[in-house]
Each structure stands twice: as C-alpha cells, then as structure tokens.
C-alpha cells in the first residue's frame, strides 16, 4: 500500500481533530475521530445524510451523487457528502447538527458561543476574631464588620435562612471562610478554597435538563436529565393544568414533583463532582409559562382559560429554599421573564443564546414543541414579533399509533429507496416505534415516493401494490421489529402531523405577513429545541413544515433554551439582555387574526411542488 | 339622709370617671367606677394598699392611719389611702399600678403614652382593566401599571408568595382592590374597604401576649395570651436550650410550638373582630434573646455556652410565612435588635416604651424575670449601660414549695397584722399557692415581723411560739386552702428568693458603681414587666430587692415590652429609635467584674435598717 502523507481533519463545532492519511474519505475520518455521522446507506453515496461543510482546505471534486443529492445553495456554501469527499490537505469542517448521530447531538450546543461569566454571586474571603466575654458581639455583627473591613461595603443584609446556619458554620470553619456575596446580601458561607457553583435548568414538559457549572469560569462540570415527573398526571400540558385545577392540592402536588426532581438532579451532579449544596450559589430555571407556573406554585386557571393570562411574566428571583432546592442558605433562583401565557422564559432563553435579537439578517427563531414559538427579527427594527402555534404533541411521538419518545429503538431517520425501507434507530437498537424526526422523515418519504397525495390521503392504488389493504404503510413488519409488532403509519397518524405542521406553517405565515415580509425574504431560520435539532431539514421542507428556503439558510442550534439558561446563570448582562428581549418582543395572538383559520386549513396540505434545496 | 352635692372623680390613667355624692370616700368611688383597688383590710385603714395620688381637687385631711402607713415622700407627692379620703370637690386621681387588683393590671399599660402611627405598610386603592385576547398582559404587569398610575412609583417589586395568590384574589375582587404597599413591595391584596391590621407579640418564656391593632389608627382591637408551649420541654430557658441542643430536631420542635401558638392567638383575635388573615400586614415580635433564637430557628449552642453569643443581635425582617403565621402573603415580622446574649429585644422594647433613653432624670429601667435586665440612663450622656442578672425563676413561683404562676387562687398580697394573716388571691378564689408578688410580700412581712433574721434564717424562737416545729411559716392551714393542702414558706423557699434578690441587687450595685453613681442619686426607677407591676414596692424595698429610695421615685409601668412591641409595629420612627437604643447601649457583662461575687454574697442578706418610705 502506497504511503500517503498525513493530513489533519478538524471537526467544528465539536472541537475534535484527527490525523489521517491524505485521500482518506471524510466519513472514515469522522469515524476515526469518534464522530458518528448519520449515514443510512453506509457510505454508498445515496442517502445524502452525511453532509458536512468544508470551511477550509483542499478536497476532491464534487461527484455526480453529490450534485444529485445536495441543493444548489448547499453546494455554493461548501456542503459535501462526507462519504464522497477525500481530504487532499489539512481540512477544517463544520458538521451541521442533523448530520450527527443522536448520541452526539448534545455536543451541538457548542454551536452557540460561550458567554463571559459575570456572576451575580461572588466569594469574598473574610476572617473574624472569635468572641470572648469581653467581646460578645453577635456572630452576624462580627461577620458584617469583617466584610466591611475586607470590601468597604457598609450596607450589608442577609436572610433568616443564612442566620440559621451561621453560628454552626462559622465555628466549624474556624472564623475564616468565604462569604457568598450577592448584591449587598450575604447568602452563604463556604470553606475558603471552594469554588462557587451554579445550576441551570431547562424545565421542559417532557424532559428536565440540568447543568452544573462553575460560576467564576463558566465551566460545565456535569449535566443530568430526567423525565418530567408530572407526566404521570398528564402527558400534555393541558391535562396537567386541568389536573391542577380539579384538585385542591393538585397544583401543590405538581409543584413538589418537579421541585424534587430538580433537587435530585442537582444532588446527583454534586455527588459526581464531590461538591456540597452550600457551594451552589445561584440557579436559573427556564421553561414554558405553564411549567414555570407549576414550578412556582402559581394558580393556573387563568392560564388555561381564554384570554390565557400569566400570573406574572416578569423576571423573578425566588429563594432556592422556597422551591425545596438544597443550595446555599440564601441562594436565589432566577426565573427569566416570559412574553405571555404562551411564550415562556425558555423561548426568551433561546432568542438570547441564538442571538436572534442581534441578528444582522432577517431571521426567524423557531422552537418546535406542543406549542411552537416563533420569533421574527427584522434588522434595524426595535421590536421582535412572536407567535405561539398550538402544534400539539404529535412531533413528540404522542397521538401517533406507533409513536414514542426519542428513546432506544426509536426510528429517527427513514429513507425509501428502490432497495426498500432504510431506517436508523436511536442507539442502533432494533426498532420499536417512531420518534418525531422519524415520523417526519417517513411522511416526507411517503409523499416524495407518491404514497401520499397532496391532501394527505394515502394513494390507495400505490398502497395496494404493496399488498396493504388498510390505509397504512408498514415500515417494519412484525417479525423485524424489536417488540414483535409491526411499525406503520396510519391515515390518522398522517392527519395528526398535518394538523401540527399546518398550525406551525400558518403561524409563520401570519407572522411574516403581519410584518409585510415575503417568506423567501427570510435570510436565516434558527431551529432550536430537541425535536428541531434531530429532524431532517429536507424532510421538513418536503412536507411543508418549513418554507422552501435554501438549506443553507437553516441553522439548527440544539437546545438553545438550555444554553440561554446557562448564560443567564453566569452573566448579569445576559439577564439584562433577556429582560430587554422580553420588553422588546411584541406578542401576536394568532386567534385574534381572522385569516388564521383559513391559512391553517390550507397549510394542512403538502406542497405540490416540493423544491430541491 | 342629707342630700350632698354631686362631685366627679376621675381615675387616671385608666380613663374612667364617676359622679358621686360629695363626702364619698375614694375607695367607694372607685368601686362605683368599676375599679377594684387592692384592699386586704376591706377599707379599715390598716393595710395601706389602696394608695392613690390626688392630682387636683379638694379632699379631706390626712388621717393618723395614713400618716402611719404612708411614707413622707409619698405624702409630699400627694399620695392618700383611698379608704381614708373623702372628696370635697371634683377630684382627679392617679392610680398607681400596685394599688390595682390583678384583673385590672392590664389597663396600666396606658401609663405609657400611645405613639402616632406611621406604619411601614400602607393600603393603596387600585383598579385595572381585566385582560382580553388583545391585552393579555400578565396579572402582575397589569397590577404594576395600575400602581404606577395611582402612586407614581415605578420601582415595584413583590414576592413569590404574593404572586401565588394574585390571580385568584384579583379576579375575586373584580380587578379593584387595595394593595398592601411596603416600601416598594406589594405584599398583599384586600377588598377596598378593609382596614389593615398588625400583630404585636411579647414572646415571654412563660407567657405569650399578643395584641391585634389597626395599623392606621393604632387602635387596639383585641388582646390574647397563652402559656409558652415550650414549657413542656423545660420550665426555664436553660433547660429548653439544653433540649434544643440534645435533640437534632429539638430546635425545630421548639420553634414550631411557639410559632403555632402565635398563629393560633392571631387567628383567635381575628375571629373575634371578624377579620381575615390577609388584612394582617405586619407584625412585631419581641422577646429575650433565647426566645427569639428559638422562634427563628437559630442554633442556640453558642448562646448557652460562654461567652454566650447571639447568632445575630441586629434587627431582622422575616417573612411571616417563614414563621408559619397566616398573614398577608408577603407580610413581614419585624424582630427588633437585641444588645447581646442576655439582653433581648424585649428589653429594648421596654426602654423604648418607657422612654428611658430620653429620661431627663438619672434613671434605671428594670425588668425582673429569670434574667433581670437593668439599664441605666444618665441625662446628657450618649450611652446607656445595661446588665443582666441571673435572678432565676423564683419570682415566677418556680423552685418554691408552694409556688405557682399568677393564676386563679394564687396569693398575690400578704399582710401580717395583730389579727393574723391577711391575704388576697388572684380572682378572689380560695388560696392554693403563692405567686411571685405574694412570696415577696410574705417574706417582707415575715422579716418585718421578726420571724426572719437578717441572714435569712428563720427565728426559731418566734416560730416555736406559733407551734411550728419545722422551719416553715404556715400562711394558710390545710383546712382553709383551696386544695386541702397547707400553704407555707420553707427555709429553702426563703433561700431561693435570697439568691434571686441578691443577684439583682448586686447587679444594680455594679451597674451604678461602674458609672460612679451613688444609689441614692437615682431619681427614677422604672419597674416593668408582669412581676414588677404586681409587686408591692414597700415589700421589695423591705427585703432589699430594690434600694431604699423614696416610694415616689419608683414608677411601675406594666408590660412595657408589649407596649414597645406595639410602638414598633405601628411606627417606623419607633423602629429607628429602637435601633438607636441598641447601638447606644453598652452591655456590661457582670461575670467580668471581679467584685460581683462578693457583692452578690452580701446582697443575699436582708437590710438591717428597713427604711420607711
């Protein structure tokens, strides 16, 4: 074998690099670097999934397969299929999230830039002389005087929670410690060498994602997640709100469940890094408006009934102890502002971290969920506009016969090829159902291949050719599935997705029209959230969920809400900016727009001329 | 019967008046006015207890009995025995507290002047437009804007506790209500017509006294009291502190007990005046340092061990909900400053309400209890000096064989006359034991009559004459008592009282000596507290508890700590003044004064020349 010179392949934004022989194809290079690019065809150049963007370096020319599978705009932007491209020199690649295997998706969070820490809590070292009979000043008086001597501050306050711990803690530490200083308040006490930590939480209605960070450096120390335990009281938000209203203690119960889970996640992470709750000086929790209401113990009746009003949409600082979180005694949880009953602090966090509010291009930020929030940024214009679309839980796999969450064995990618059905499952386990991105792919492929008509009905003739008498399409027969049951999409499943995508499409259309923007004028579409990061953009465009813009205008940013929560945990400027975003965002209530229902009805159809992009 | 012209007798500070025929004796006039003056002799002119001070008006001349029973200084100051004095014109009388029956003692609180209310919480009426789909601002945003429109304030904050109630409350009130405004914070919401109330509590180690007031007018609406439930975990403070340290959950338990009792007292008073917890906008709780530590859930180990240091002695505002008190959602409890481990906020409250800090005379303020706090005011001098004497619980009837609290049937006054033992009991019930003032009287009388020697030992010869073989003096034989048991004082009882009065006497002596003040230079002695208000001053002087000053220099002011708590509840200026008093008071730790033990030993003796005063 002829010896080739070595070249270095860098993968952004993952931050990995690998040395390979020149002429190595980029799919193989990615494998060697430990990066699992999606590839349902196994590197045959016919699934078009292993897309990467060549940022710099010299590579082999475009193949015919690539010309066929990539859109023109993508080719212009330097996109290639990794399996068809060989490195001729050192190469720097950008890996878009939807080319990544689900197991590696979390890493795409680093698509978003880190923020310079500017934490609200600082550690100040102090020492006091111990008390004597001749100097019996109280512990707190003594500590205050030491702080004044150290920092010059004379306006010093504290909470009862801190005073409850002070006498024991200060004696254990031998009258020499770090005080946790928040504005003019002492909120805790730690040994002098310990780092201050912070907790950032993305409180989703399905999943709770928590991150433990070091406040001063901004370093992520640990991450952890758990299903939202409220699920047992209602799969979707509406039924949980109903439960909370039906039962006197219902709100309290739902609040406790979610508080306990957050506390457990925190403790798990603290144990992992051998840290103590007293070190956790601050938290930031983002979530949709219903989730933050239930977390904070607020009534939800007015939120569940028209005109769907939040108790408060203003930023809030609440004692961690009030939420049952074991942190420093006076530590606060910052809950960022929301925009209204249907645009929560998670959307603000997403706008913040994706920097939509400062985008130099005409841009849309979209976070798909049971409610899908969309914000529009027009450069030079002071206000953003936001809408919320009732897209329902179908994209989360709910209300779909063989739907499931994105757990092991969930089909997340589908391709119909002349050779048959190609699928990819989470963790590469035998298939047991569809998660949202798989359903989207499956419907897009069924439509592309002519099994579905533009109105969403199955083409019975085409189905009949496959021997399917019922209006359903079997993707995995019972004997090939992981649980002995066939995996199919039914007409009802298709209809559910039509409703969901129709609501989003119509919402986006109203949003643009109200601002006199033509859809093709949108220069960037920022797609955030778990579902949005996992989906195939071509499929989303194929079924008309997203407008037929060039692929390169889409940017999948992963869980931007979680990153936004981290920003607001770490930086006071980020909080001020989030509050500014909330003030500057105009909420457009879709139900007040007469055309909405008409648009919604139209948008249920699939686009007749699916464009190549 | 010859018709006499009518005259009006006014009784101060009780504020009652009565029309009687001229020549009526003042004891009878008091009875007609519904005022029960003490009189163990039944108006015979030989017990000397029905003392009143004639402020204005013309009365019959002094009798021989009065010359014998009243001191010279008292006579000069216009003191008379009510039973020996007849009204010749309209007469204005001052009734000193110790001339009042115990049932009427509470009224002497009005000895202290009321304070002009200047409450920290105000009610501001607001109205908001209800939300619509076109105006879906959050409840809190809506309310804030209404407040800004009404008051001009733009810096408006609130608590999570308030937001938890806002949506339901504002809808119930039809979007028109009073907000409870505290500094820049909204702490509650009430119907527009409702008055704001406040709670003042004197948290004693034996008794908890609570008062419900109207904040704007300062009017007392209701009072209520209960035994401190911590008593079942320790009669005295030291054993409660020991319990709190021994048991992990001990502090928590003691805190809960006392919080629940305060909450129950509050609810009882609210029910009595048909008011709701939401109307209670603020509270002030005073107590000794141990009591406030246990209330607030602070550790007490450092308080129980030398050098006896408080967790904090600074003023504190704590959420009522944190103490389990059902009040307005964001209502605060103000805990005034303390001076040290042994001088609590109750003493500050007493100094404040008795205005010791502004006294124009050289004055002492004394509050007798298990610990007796004494403060010295020297006119023109910036600082007060305070000491705390470990006087023990004997004056509360504890550690005394037949001792009891000042409940029904407790002997509270004793006189030894040639006719035998004269006693007066609480509620005029058959005697079952001695309360503190009765013990004091009994010992003073035993000493005056020669049954006790100056060193505190019984004069066995005198006792033997009565047929008492054991060293004890029987005041009520078994067949005359309310429970079939004799009521006596034993040698051990005498010794307990000697220890108590010795500690107080020595403490006062050190306090004066350290400030180079001769005891006779003291121009006013303000005696506060339950015990101090019930005792007979001549008896206290007789046994050497108090220095032999003219009777008129003593002023019994009742439960001044409770009044001080009311002042601080009602007035922000009063709080600032209390904080000023705390800053300006120098605490003198008696155990650091070498002479203390010697003085203490001497002070156990009874004074050899008991002076008439």
Using a CB-CB cut-off of 8 Å, the residues of chain B touching A144 are 314
- Asked whether residue A82 is assigned to any structural domain, the reply reads yes
Interface contact flag, B312 A136, Cβ < 8 Å? no
More confident residue, B567 or A247: B567
- Average pLDDT on A100-129 reads 77
Model pLDDT, residue A109: 46
Q: State the residue range of the domain holding A169.
A: 121-190
Helix axes B491-514, B436-448, angle to 10 degrees: 90
Number of domains in chain B: 3
Model pLDDT, residue B611: 44
**Residue B102: pLDDT band with limits 50, 70, 90:** low
CA dist., res. A601 & res. B9, Å (int): 92
Cβ atoms of residues A392 and A370 within 8 Å: yes
Which segment of A88-97, B339-348, B373-382, B584-593 scores lowest on mean pLDDT? A88-97
pLDDT in tens, B217-239: 999 999 998 889 998 888 778 88
The answer on pLDDT for B150 being more than 50 is: yes
* DSSP run (H or E) holding B256: helix B250-272
pLDDT in tens, B416-437: 988 889 999 988 889 999 999 9
- From the CA of B315, how many Å to the nearest CA of chain A? 10
The answer on pLDDT for B610 being more than 50 is: no
Domain harbouring B208, CATH code: 3.30.420.480
- Asked whether residue B382 is assigned to any structural domain, the reply reads no
- Average pLDDT on A41-63 reads 87
Identify from A134, A136, A159, A334 which residue to disrupt to test chain B contact, counting B C-beta atoms within 10 A and taking the largest count.
A136
- For A495, other C-beta atoms within 10 Å of its C-beta total 15
Nearest CA in chain A to B251: A164
Model pLDDT, residue A111: 58
- Asked whether residue B539 is assigned to any structural domain, the reply reads no
CA dist., res. A139 & res. B429, Å (int): 49
Residues A40 and A91 grouped into a single domain: yes
More confident residue, A120 or B50: A120
Interface contact flag, B138 A168, Cβ < 8 Å? no
Using a CB-CB cut-off of 8 Å, the residues of chain A touching B174 are none
**Residue A237: pLDDT band with limits 50, 70, 90:** confident
Nearest CA in chain B to A318: B160
Instruction: Extract the runs of DSSP E, i.e. beta strands, from B272-392.
Output: 280-287, 316-319, 332-335, 363-367, 371-377, 384-390
Q: Between the CA of residue B512 and those of B96, B293, B340, B384, B515, what are the distances in Å?
A: 26, 30, 20, 12, 5
Residues A425 and A311 grouped into a single domain: no
pLDDT in tens, A130-151: 999 889 999 999 999 999 998 8
Identify from A131, A159, A160 which residue to disrupt to test chain B contact, counting B C-beta atoms within 10 A and taking the largest count.
A160
Q: What percent of chain B has pLDDT over 90?
A: 67
Structure token digits, residue A165: 């711990």
Cβ atoms of residues A439 and A493 within 8 Å: yes
Nearest to A136 among B136, B166, B307 (CB): B307
- From the CA of B159, how many Å to the nearest CA of chain A? 8
Q: What percent of chain B has pLDDT over 70?
A: 96
Interface contact flag, B139 A322, Cβ < 8 Å? no
Model pLDDT, residue B613: 38
Which segment of A19-23, A295-299, B397-401 scores lowest on mean pLDDT? B397-401
Model pLDDT, residue A469: 65
Domain harbouring B27, CATH code: 3.10.20.30
Interface contact flag, A138 B340, Cβ < 8 Å? yes
3-state secondary structure of A262: helix
Nearest to B307 among A132, A314, A341 (CB): A132
Identify from A145, A158, A163 which residue to disrupt to test chain B contact, counting B C-beta atoms within 10 A and taking the largest count.
A163
- Nearest Cα residue to B546 out of B609, B502, B511, B514: B502
Q: What is the dihedral of CA B92, B98, B102, B108, to 10 degrees?
A: 50
First-last CA distance in chain B: 40
Please count the residue pairs, one from chain A and one from chain B, whose beta carbons lie less than 8 angstroms apart. Answer: 142
The label of the residue with tokens 């700590």 reads: B561
Q: What is the CA radius of gyration of chain B?
A: 26
Model pLDDT, residue B2: 56
Nearest CA in chain A to B159: A318
Nearest to A312 among B138, B168, B297 (CB): B138
Residues A474 and A540 grouped into a single domain: no
- Average pLDDT on B174-199 reads 96
- From the CA of A138, how many Å to the nearest CA of chain B? 5
Residues A359 and A410 grouped into a single domain: no
Nearest to A133 among B164, B312, B589 (CB): B589
Which segment of A61-65, A377-381, B584-588 scores lowest on mean pLDDT? A61-65
Interface contact flag, B312 A133, Cβ < 8 Å? no
Interface contact flag, B307 A160, Cβ < 8 Å? no
Identify from B164, B295, B312 which residue to disrupt to test chain A contact, counting A C-beta atoms within 10 A and taking the largest count.
B312
Q: Is the dihedral of CA B233, B236, B241, B242 positive or negative?
A: negative
CA dist., res. B62 & res. B83, Å (int): 11
Model pLDDT, residue A103: 54
Mean pLDDT of chain A: 90
Domain harbouring B127, CATH code: 3.10.20.880
Model pLDDT, residue A177: 96
Using a CB-CB cut-off of 8 Å, the residues of chain B touching A325 are none
3-state secondary structure of A303: helix
The answer on pLDDT for A108 being more than 60 is: no
3-state secondary structure of A182: strand
Cβ atoms of residues B103 and B36 within 8 Å: yes
3-state secondary structure of A94: strand
Question: Rounded to the nearest 5°, which phi and psi values hold at B262?
Answer: -60, -45
- Asked whether residue A584 is assigned to any structural domain, the reply reads yes
Residues B222 and B328 grouped into a single domain: yes
CA dist., res. B267 & res. A91, Å (int): 76
Name B18's bridge partners: B9
Interface contact flag, A312 B140, Cβ < 8 Å? yes
Cβ atoms of residues A217 and A566 within 8 Å: no
Nearest CA in chain B to A142: B312
* Domain stops at, among B335, B369, B389: B335
Using a CB-CB cut-off of 8 Å, the residues of chain B touching A310 are 138-139
Residues A415 and A435 grouped into a single domain: yes
Interface contact flag, B164 A297, Cβ < 8 Å? yes
Residues A257 and A231 grouped into a single domain: yes
pLDDT in tens, B521-552: 999 999 998 788 788 888 999 999 999 998 88
More confident residue, B108 or A581: A581
Which segment of A284-293, A469-478, B304-313 scores lowest on mean pLDDT? A469-478
Cβ atoms of residues B33 and B25 within 8 Å: no
- Asked whether residue A47 is assigned to any structural domain, the reply reads yes
Identify from B163, B249, B319, B322 which residue to disrupt to test chain A contact, counting A C-beta atoms within 10 A and taking the largest count.
B163
Model pLDDT, residue A117: 95
More confident residue, B393 or B597: B597
- Asked whether residue B528 is assigned to any structural domain, the reply reads no
Nearest CA in chain B to A298: B164
Give counts: helices (H), strands (E), chain B.
18, 26
Residues A384 and A505 grouped into a single domain: yes
Using a CB-CB cut-off of 8 Å, the residues of chain A touching B134 are 589, 592
CA dist., res. A357 & res. A354, Å (int): 8
Interface contact flag, B312 A171, Cβ < 8 Å? no
Chain B residues with CB within 8 Å of chain A CB: 131-141, 144, 160, 163-164, 166-168, 171, 296-299, 301-302, 306-314, 316, 318-319, 322, 338, 340-341, 587, 589, 591-592
Nearest CA in chain A to B308: A136
Model pLDDT, residue A277: 97
Residues A331 and A287 grouped into a single domain: yes
Interface contact flag, A309 B136, Cβ < 8 Å? yes
Using a CB-CB cut-off of 8 Å, the residues of chain A touching B591 are 133
pLDDT in tens, B460-519: 888 877 776 678 899 999 999 998 899 999 999 999 999 999 999 999 999 999 999 999
- From the CA of A198, how many Å to the nearest CA of chain B? 21
The answer on pLDDT for B110 being more than 60 is: no
The answer on pLDDT for A612 being more than 70 is: no
Residues A504 and A382 grouped into a single domain: yes
- Asked whether residue A15 is assigned to any structural domain, the reply reads yes
Interface contact flag, A589 B133, Cβ < 8 Å? yes
Nearest CA in chain A to B294: A164
Which segment of A562-566, B32-36, B243-247, B270-274 scores lowest on mean pLDDT? B32-36
Nearest CA in chain B to A252: B164
Interface contact flag, A312 B134, Cβ < 8 Å? no
Nearest to B312 among A134, A163, A319 (CB): A163
- Asked whether residue A113 is assigned to any structural domain, the reply reads no
Residues A367 and A408 grouped into a single domain: no
Model pLDDT, residue B609: 58
* Domain stops at, among A444, A468, A491: A491
3-state secondary structure of B137: coil
Residues B87 and B151 grouped into a single domain: no
Q: Is B168 exposed, middle or buried (0-12, 13-18, 19+ CB in 10 A)?
A: middle
Model pLDDT, residue A107: 43
This model of the complex carries an ipTM of 0.82
Chain A residues with CB within 8 Å of chain B CB: 131-141, 144, 160, 163-164, 166-168, 171, 296-299, 301-302, 306-314, 316, 318-319, 322, 338, 340-341, 587, 589, 591-592
pLDDT in tens, B562-581: 999 999 999 999 999 999 99
The answer on pLDDT for B112 being more than 80 is: no
- From the CA of A381, how many Å to the nearest CA of chain B? 22
CA dist., res. A400 & res. A489, Å (int): 8
Interface contact flag, A592 B133, Cβ < 8 Å? yes
Cβ atoms of residues B86 and B24 within 8 Å: yes
Structure token digits, residue A570: 């770490």
Using a CB-CB cut-off of 8 Å, the residues of chain A touching B343 are none
Cβ atoms of residues B504 and B544 within 8 Å: no
Q: What percent of chain A has pLDDT over 90?
A: 67
* Domain stops at, among B190, B217, B250: B190
CA dist., res. A439 & res. A395, Å (int): 8
Structure token digits, residue B516: 């180079």
Mean pLDDT of chain B: 90
pLDDT in tens, A449-493: 999 999 999 998 888 777 766 788 999 999 999 988 999 999 999
Cβ atoms of residues A527 and A111 within 8 Å: no
**Residue A110: pLDDT band with limits 50, 70, 90:** very low
Interface contact flag, B306 A592, Cβ < 8 Å? no
More confident residue, A12 or A214: A214
């Amino acid at each position: 074998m002829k010896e080739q010179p070595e070249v270095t392949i860098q993968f952004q934004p993952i931050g990995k690099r690998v040395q390979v022989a020149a002429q190595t194809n980029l799919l193989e290079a990615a494998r060697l670097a430990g990066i699992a690019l999606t590839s349902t065809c196994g590197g045959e150049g016919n699934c078009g999934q292993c897309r990467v963007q060549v940022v710099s370096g010299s590579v082999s020319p475009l193949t015919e397969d690539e010309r066929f599978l990539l859109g023109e705009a993508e080719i212009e932007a330097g996109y290639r299929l990794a399996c068809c491209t060989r490195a001729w020199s050192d190469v720097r690649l950008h890996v878009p999230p939807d080319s990544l295997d689900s197991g590696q998706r979390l890493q795409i969070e680093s698509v978003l830039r880190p923020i310079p820490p500017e934490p609200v809590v600082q550690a100040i070292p102090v020492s006091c002389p111990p008390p004597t009979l001749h100097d019996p000043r109280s512990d707190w008086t003594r500590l205050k005087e030491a702080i004044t001597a150290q920092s010059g501050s004379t306006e010093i306050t504290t909470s009862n929670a801190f005073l409850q711990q002070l006498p024991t803690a200060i004696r254990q530490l031998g009258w020499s410690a770090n005080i946790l200083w928040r504005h003019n308040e002492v909120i805790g006490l730690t040994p002098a060498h310990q780092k201050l930590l912070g907790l950032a939480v993305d409180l989703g209605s399905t999943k709770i994602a928590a991150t433990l960070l070091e406040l001063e450096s901004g370093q992520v120390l640990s991450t952890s997640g758990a299903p939202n335990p409220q699920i047992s009281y209602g799969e979707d938000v509406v039924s949980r709100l109903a439960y909370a209203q039906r039962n006197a203690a219902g709100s309290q119960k739902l609040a406790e469940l979610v508080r306990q889970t957050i506390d457990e996640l925190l403790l798990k992470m603290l144990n992992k890094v051998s840290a103590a709750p007293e070190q956790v000086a601050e938290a930031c929790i983002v979530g949709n408006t219903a989730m933050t209401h239930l977390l904070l113990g607020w009534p939800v009746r007015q939120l569940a009934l028209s005109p769907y009003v939040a108790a408060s949409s203003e930023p809030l600082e609440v004692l961690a102890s009030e939420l049952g979180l074991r942190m420093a005694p006076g530590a606060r949880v910052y809950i960022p502002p929301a925009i209204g009953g249907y645009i929560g602090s998670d959307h603000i966090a997403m706008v913040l971290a994706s920097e939509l509010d400062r985008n130099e291009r005409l841009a849309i930020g979209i976070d798909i969920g049971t409610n899908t929030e969309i914000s529009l940024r027009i450069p030079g214009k002071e206000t953003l506009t936001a809408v919320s679309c009732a897209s329902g839980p179908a994209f989360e796999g709910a209300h779909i016969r063989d739907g499931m969450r994105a757990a092991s064995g969930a089909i997340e990618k589908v391709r119909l090829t002349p050779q048959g059905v190609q699928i990819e499952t989470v963790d590469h386990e035998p298939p047991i159902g569809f998660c949202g991105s798989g359903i989207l792919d499956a419907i897009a492929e069924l439509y592309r291949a002519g099994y579905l008509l533009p109105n969403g009905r199955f083409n019975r003739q085409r189905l009949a050719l496959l021997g399917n008498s019922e209006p359903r399409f079997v993707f995995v027969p019972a004997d090939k599935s992981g649980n002995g049951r066939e995996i199919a999409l039914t007409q009802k499943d298709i209809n559910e997705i039509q409703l969901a995508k129709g609501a989003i499409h119509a919402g986006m259309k109203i949003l643009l029209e109200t601002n006199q923007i033509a859809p093709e004028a949108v220069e960037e579409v920022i797609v955030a959230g778990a579902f949005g990061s996992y989906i195939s953009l071509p499929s989303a465009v194929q079924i008309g969920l997203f407008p037929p813009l060039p692929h390169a205008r889409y940017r999948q940013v992963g869980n931007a809400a979680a990153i936004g929560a981290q920003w607001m945990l770490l930086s006071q400027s980020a909080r001020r900016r989030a509050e500014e975003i909330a003030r500057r965002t105009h909420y457009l209530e879709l139900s007040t727009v007469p055309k909405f229902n008409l648009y919604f009805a139209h948008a249920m159809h699939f686009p007749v001329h699916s464009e190549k992009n």
